[in-house]
Amino acid sequence: MYTGTLSFDLLLGDVHSLKQKRSVVRPIVAELQRKYAVSAAEVGEQDLYRRARIGLAAVSGDHGHLSGLLDDCERLVAGRPEVELLSVRRRIHGDHDE
């Protein structure tokens, strides 16, 4: 069994309030969940309206499948024109990890 996580640090475009921020972040989280069946949520920077941190997690029995899934999720977020992807942190853990 393998578990993988991604953490996206995002800079939001023309956003001037927390309400506008939610209207940008929520559709990204929902699309990740719907399209790739991963667990995703806004996990940081909730009090800053131009920054967001989205985290996601997935489980798979195959390392290659999990790696490809995380690649697809990263491409989806990076391709969104309303956000600038500042950094991505990726971790994959397997049964052999302590």
Q: List, for residues 1-32, the tens digit of each pLDDT value.
A: 999 999 999 999 888 999 999 999 999 999 99
Structural domain of 45:
2-94
CA torsion through residues 11, 23, 68, 64, sign: positive
Both tokens of 6, joined, read 């991604």
pLDDT at residue 98 in the model: 58
If one counts the domains in the chain, the total is: 1
- Interatomic CA distance for residues 35 and 38, integer angstroms: 8
- Give pTM, 2 decimals: 0.89
Q: Find the CATH number of the domain harbouring 81.
A: 3.30.70.1120
pLDDT digits (tens, 9 = 90+) for 30-86: 999 999 999 999 998 888 889 999 999 999 999 999 999 999 999 999 999 999 999
Q: Is the pLDDT of residue 97 over 90?
A: no
